[in-house]
Chains A and B, each alone.
Chain A
């Protein structure tokens, strides 16, 4: 069973002549342990793809399922539960809460959700991502690279089956960007999760198992 499966998914915005077909007849599936890149210029529909896969938007038609459970027609409340339990987000601007220290970001997740990593696992995650010295710092005191590493740790902490990264390297220089991709790849392989990276940066595709190109709402696998 695929971790993520999209069947004939369409998404349109607006009505009449203003209608935008953001996602056209998309079929897609992702397996455990895979890291997949989706590249395309801005406006190509890749953000729409990510929000639908992430359960933030419902598709106009078609079916999206995560671990065999269809999420396309769930209420916002149920989708929010799916997001909490199945999906880890790594966002462009970082998904950290500004007034919590690094350590407390994880404690907040403990409060809202069970089955997170154990303290030992968290410690080894701290070490893997080299953020153990940052535990008591606030996100604003971290550099871009550090912040993104903490964001990755936070996404992994809830043991999600799917990690969605939206331009995870946007605010970083090349060396840092490669480092972050390397980490994402390693963690995907080690934890046997699935990672989808949406980016317009073609240099990152070397780190991915499969690459898809998004153009005008059509998703095509690159050879």
Chain B
């Protein structure tokens, strides 16, 4: 029983409680972080979240790129008719914003609805501020993905559209 310790939880300033005694004062947060496995488990979760970010941004970028590639001949046609690169780029980015915003919005609502139906035993809490922050990040990443598509549009040769 050598590894066992006893602890007393107290409210208020810890230094007052432990002065003049042989007790060692530790903040609750520090104590929890030093519990065996706690930090490691948290780190794993954080990593999972970051990887999900990377994966979803890759998926979104590929999705947008495919949407653009499908329309190459049409963009060529518009360019042949003299519609400027700038106009096409603006439209693609605006459309991406609308798509990403709707996607995040629907995801947000679905998450909250799911949360309502989860039994109270499931240890889950939704931090609205974090969710909004992550949503904004996803929209920004989607728009960065659209910028790649815009470069593709710039490179389209209008000549090909008319089969010259």
Contacts and interface: CB of A to CB of B under 8 A. Distances in A.
Contact of A87 (B82, B85, B87, B163): B82
Interface in B136-164: 158-159, 162-164
Interface stretch (B71-79, B97-105, B121-129): B71-79
B74 A48 contact: no
B80 interface: yes
A63 interface: no
A95 B162 CA distance: 9
A91 B162 contact: yes
Contacts of A48: 164
B30 interface: no
Contact of B81 (A47, A57, A84, A166): A84
Contacts of B87: 111-112
Interface in B76-94: 77-85, 87
A164 B85 CA distance: 22
B80 A83 contact: yes
A77 interface: yes
A73 B85 CA distance: 19
Interface of B: 74, 77-85, 87, 158-159, 162-164
Interface of A: 47-48, 50-51, 54, 56-57, 77, 80-85, 87, 89, 91-93, 95, 97-98, 111-113, 166
